[in-house]
Chains A and B, each alone.
Chain A
Amino acid sequence: MSADVLCSVRNLIVEYSTRAGAVRAVDNVSLDIRRGEILGLVGESGCGKSTLGKALMRLHTGAARITQGELWFDGRDLMKLSEREMPDVRGAEIGMVFQDPMTSLNPVQRIMDHLTETMRTHEPEVSEAAARGRANELVERLGIRRERLHEYPHQMSGGMRQRVMISLALALRAKLVIADEPTTSLDVIVEAKFLDLLKELQKEFGLTILLITHNIGVVAEVADRVAVMYAAKMAEVGDVREVFADPKHPYTQGLLRSVPNIALDGAELYKMEGAPPNLLHPPVGCRFAPRCPHVMDVCRRQEPSFDPVGEGDHLAACWLFNEAAVAREKSHA
């Protein structure tokens, strides 16, 4: 399992300091991203999935801070790099596509300059002309006409800008692309095209993609594996088909049941009871316990560990799969 892992997050904690106190947006999360896969990271708003994505590049500034953990990327621990060394990793090895394509490009810079500058930042020996040539090839591959490279971001549509963002990641052959809700602000048709493109590029360039989204459908469509986050914790990780066919964590089960479905045929859509906990004062024990339909005593007392469940690399953090705990619960009852 270790050889094909590109990026490995170990016990990562990211804290936001607020007036009310420190909030752990990512709490003791471990995650492996394998070389060449598309890993979907799902969860509801505020569960810490974007924070985790940014933490992979150590992009946090200001109130957010990584307080603990290891970030192994391609054989080295990014946490050990200094702030001066990080820019060499960013862009060159890990690229990022942001949620809102309307604001993620510099409004006063032409698209061409975005691309050539990215290349020349990391490879100063590349001539301006060579960089332009590469930019031309790249955007043509992404379905943008060469002429449009000389335009400003505002002259392009959302879908095009998102393709430009991808091309920025591809320009340097980044090994890992973190796509933070890349299709959220696109309409359905553009979204479908963009996802197709993402899959094609992944095959063609051997990209590894971390696809952060709250859209289960998108994950089902393109991801190889899926990771589910709940209230700053990792709830479940596994192969997409397996997790969707046989979700282990009650939160994943609820999440999958609450996806609108044509087969529903007018019946009421499943609604999970309650709301996610306040991360300033997270509940003791399992964070999903207050909303869990299968809650046990142990869930309210002790936090479950993140253990293999079922076949393969299917992992979940739930007491239901700890036989000893379940047995103890039954004996109590």
Chain B
Amino acid sequence: MTMMKEELPEAAEATEVWATELERVGFVRRMFLARRWYGADWWFVAISTVMVLGFIFVALFPGLLAPFSPNELVGSRLLAPGAQPAVPVLIVPAESPLNELVDLAAPAGAPRPAVGVVQGLPTGAALNERAKLLDDEIKSAPEGLRLRPRINRYATTEEALRAVADGTDMAAVIESTEWAAGMSEQFPTLRQGGSITGEVSTAGGFVLGTNDIGQDVFSRLLWGTRVALIIGFSSSIVALVLGVPLGLLAGFVGGALDRLLSLVMDSLYAFPGLILAIAITAVLGPSMFNVIVAIAVLYVPTYYRIVRGQTLSVKEEVYVEAAKSIGARQSEILQKYIFPNVIPSVAIIFSVNVADAILTGAGLSFLGLGLPPTIADWGIDLARGQRFIQVAWWMITYPGLAIIAVVLAFSMMGEGLTEIFNPRLRER
């Protein structure tokens, strides 16, 4: 009989508890409670946000993560991902004190040391070249040493190594990859010395391989992120800064101004996007700034049309009339009533637009119209990779994947965040 109290159902409140608490929590909590609150899939937002933040971090500090500079020629051409670069190395008897090429130097009168190479491989040429170089360096020194190895050519690597093993030659020069691929087991009495060119074989090779001129694909990918984001963001911001006020003005003022602006914007919009961008960059010439200008011009009509349409519809809302009825002035109505109600759609276009601008930028460079080729850019890498697609799939695949990932991340985050921060969608 005492249980009767507090059994009454709560009066039907217009607002659920979560909605009233909505404003009292922080950004992070909002993100994680998004699913319960808004029905948005928070992980969708979370994943894309992490991706976007990751891309931004990479774009800000590519030097921290990239092992090489993007334009540096760091290894052999067309190395597959993870493959060891072939470096000409010295193979010497295990007990020999020899290690570097310069150790073979001998006094001027002494017999020239015999070094074996395999006929027809670039190792022979490399040896010749390096030896001459080193010889020039040391011959003027007071010790009077000369480095003039007698080069014996063999038909196969095995023969060359056998010659070292039986003492015919003092050393052999072969490619490090060959030594690693079985030769070291076959000749246990030999060991690998240093590289004769001074080039070091990296521990894991090149993570994503090298391109046709021996640049590291991975490093170029990281540095390319910066270029992609700069183009994406700057051109979208320029387009937004031009398109939004024009759209607001045209929609709000209407009349002749609206007709004139719409005519201009529609004629811009009527051009196929990439073709217009090609035309603009072709006239302006290749540079980062010109690419940004070309893409911005391309997207101004997008903002203009969306904002104008939204303004036209918001302008007719009762709350705008109500605002007038409490004496709000035109400028105030535009600022406080129309602009905030138009912005959510602008946010959506912005994120999609960044993604789109990155794509267009890559497209321009792919066609060779965008950036000067010295800049590490995904579009340029794609174009270059296209020519080597049969021998080096990694050259075109990784920049392509990077473009897909960035575009996806921006679109996903844009849509997710709009859902969370648009108060009008909270009514659910």
Contacts and interface: CB of A to CB of B under 8 A. Distances in A.
Interface of A: 57, 59, 87-92, 94-96, 98-100, 103-109, 117-118, 121-122, 147, 150-152, 154-157, 160, 165, 168-169, 172
B5 interface: no
Nearest to A118: B326
A92 B325 contact: no
Contact of A121 (B14, B322, B332): B332
A90 B340 contact: no
A117 B20 CA distance: 22
Given A90-B325, A155-B14, A160-B14, A106 B341 contact: yes
Interface string B319-338: 10111111111001000110
B327 A106 contact: no
Given A92-B327, A98-B318, A151 B15 contact: yes
B325 A91 contact: yes
B321 A59 contact: yes
Interface in B374-426: 423-424, 426
B19 interface: yes
Contacts of B327: 87-92, 118, 121-122, 172
Contact of A59 (B19, B324, B329): B324
B340 A109 contact: yes
A105 B322 contact: yes
Contact of B322 (A104, A147, A160): A104
A150 B423 CA distance: 13
B326 A121 contact: yes
Contacts of B143: none
Contact of B326 (A95, A155, A156, A157): A95
A95 B319 CA distance: 14
Contacts of A88: 327
B325 A156 contact: no
B166 interface: no
A255 B328 CA distance: 38
B72 interface: no
A168 B23 CA distance: 23
Nearest to A153: B319
B326 A90 contact: yes
Contacts of A122: 327
Given A87-B329, A88-B327, A89-B327, A105 B319 contact: yes
B317 interface: yes
A204 B14 CA distance: 29
A278 B23 CA distance: 51
Given A90-B324, A96-B325, A109-B336, A157 B14 contact: yes
B427 interface: yes
Please provide the 9 A-B residue pairs with the shortest distance between their CB atoms, ordered closest to farther: A91-B327, A91-B326, A157-B14, A96-B325, A90-B327, A103-B318, A155-B15, A87-B327, A108-B340
Contacts of B424: 107-108, 154
Contact of B317 (A87, A103, A121, A168): A103
A104 B328 contact: no
10 contacts: A57-B325, A59-B324, A87-B328, A91-B327, A98-B318, A99-B318, A109-B336, A122-B327, A154-B426, A172-B326
Contact of B423 (A57, A95, A154, A157): A154
A154 B424 CA distance: 8
A122 B325 CA distance: 12
Contacts of B423: 107-108, 152, 154
A95 B322 CA distance: 9
B328, B337, B427: which has the most chain A beta carbons within 10 Å?
Answer: B328
Nearest to B340: A108
Contacts of B326: 90-91, 95-96, 118, 121, 168-169, 172
A56 to B, nearest CB: 10
Nearest to B24: A150
Contact of A107 (B23, B319, B323): B319
Contacts of A57: 325
Interface in B1-38: 14-15, 19-20, 23
Given A106-B319, A118-B326, A122-B327, 9 more contacts: A96-B326, A100-B318, A103-B318, A104-B318, A117-B336, A118-B327, A121-B326, A121-B332, A154-B423
A211 to B, nearest CB: 16
Contacts of A117: 328, 336
Given A106-B337, A107-B341, A154 B427 contact: yes
Nearest to A113: B336
